[in-house]
Amino acid sequence: MTGWLAIAGLGPGDEALITPEVTAVLAQATDVIGYVPYVARIAPRDGLSRHPSDNRVELMRARHALELAAAGGRVVVVSSGDPGVFAMAAAVLEAIESAPEYLATDIRILPGITAMLAAAARLGAPLGHDFCAINLSDNLKPWELVEHRLRLAARAGFAMAFYNPRSRSRPHQFGRALDVLREECGGARLISFARAVSTAEETLETVTLAEATPEMADMRTMVIVGNADTRRVGRFVYTPRTSL
């Protein structure tokens, strides 16, 4: 029996934003593996086993998926957004690096719509010129590195998209990030908070860095900071493709 492993992105929340490719592979799956809330998005059906797990066991989850596929399962590892952006594609490849016998497995990585791109579309085009994405969580890297990258990105003039800005276990760090941004960019720079994009709870807010407070963000919020040229036009925020 020949198995396979697909690593799929479920998009930012709205079921309409799951790609047809991902929908098709989920219909063929015998096993779905992922973080608890992502697995919960997959409806139960006959012939499908769901394997939810904690958010901090990515490598264990990846190894489990590889084992099931090697045993003949049709396995889908699910992430929100795109699986290659702060998600499970890197974890599966890291697991394979330490167990190269799984290189013979049929593995496919299926793209999805990231929260960053969904938020940017709702806001207008704040990522219309050069930009970077930074995960503000220090679960997998030290905070000193987060702050270092944040300063360098600000000095380089990038627009910036921030994942995982503020959690209950580290509420102080986003306030520090705002301080760093104000030090490097000044208070007039536009910053947007897009929460629960594409869901019924969606909220959008754009203020200046001088007006921003840590409480404006949580783990369901995508934060986008413009560059020096980013501006408003009507209800939209955009970064022009020409830089003066």
Tens-binned pLDDT, residue by residue, of the chain (244 aa): 589 999 999 999 999 999 999 999 999 999 999 999 999 999 999 999 999 988 778 899 999 999 999 999 999 999 999 999 999 999 999 999 999 999 999 999 999 999 999 999 999 999 999 999 999 998 889 999 999 999 999 999 999 999 999 877 787 899 999 999 999 999 999 999 999 999 999 999 999 999 999 999 998 999 999 999 999 999 999 999 986 5
Q: Which residue has the tokens 């309409």?
A: 16
d(CA 20, CA 214): 37
Pairing of strands 203-208, 190-195: antiparallel
How far from 231 is each of 65, 89, 114, 124, 141, CA to CA, in Å?
A: 45, 35, 23, 10, 33
- Tokens (6 digits) for 10: 């479920």
Task: Locate CATH 3.30.950.10 in the chain.
Answer: 116-238
d(CA 26, CA 48): 9
The pTM assigned to this predicted structure is 0.90
Q: What angle do CA 168, 57, 59 make, to 5 degrees?
A: 140
Q: Which of 106, 107, 104, 123 is nearest to 115 (CA)?
A: 123
Q: Which of 13, 33, 198, 26 is nearest to 110 (CA)?
A: 26
d(CA 233, CA 125): 11
pLDDT at 1: 58
Q: Which of 220, 221, 222, 242 is nearest to 231 (CA)?
A: 242
CATH of 4-113, one of 3.40.1010.10, 3.40.50.300, 3.30.380.10, 3.30.360.10: 3.40.1010.10
How far from 51 is each of 35, 40, 238, CA to CA, in Å?
A: 9, 10, 41
How far from 63 is each of 1, 57, 81, 166, 198, CA to CA, in Å?
A: 19, 10, 21, 29, 32
Instruction: Return the CATH fold of 116-238.
Output: 3.30.950
Task: Locate CATH 3.40.1010.10 in the chain.
Answer: 4-113
d(CA 8, CA 13): 14
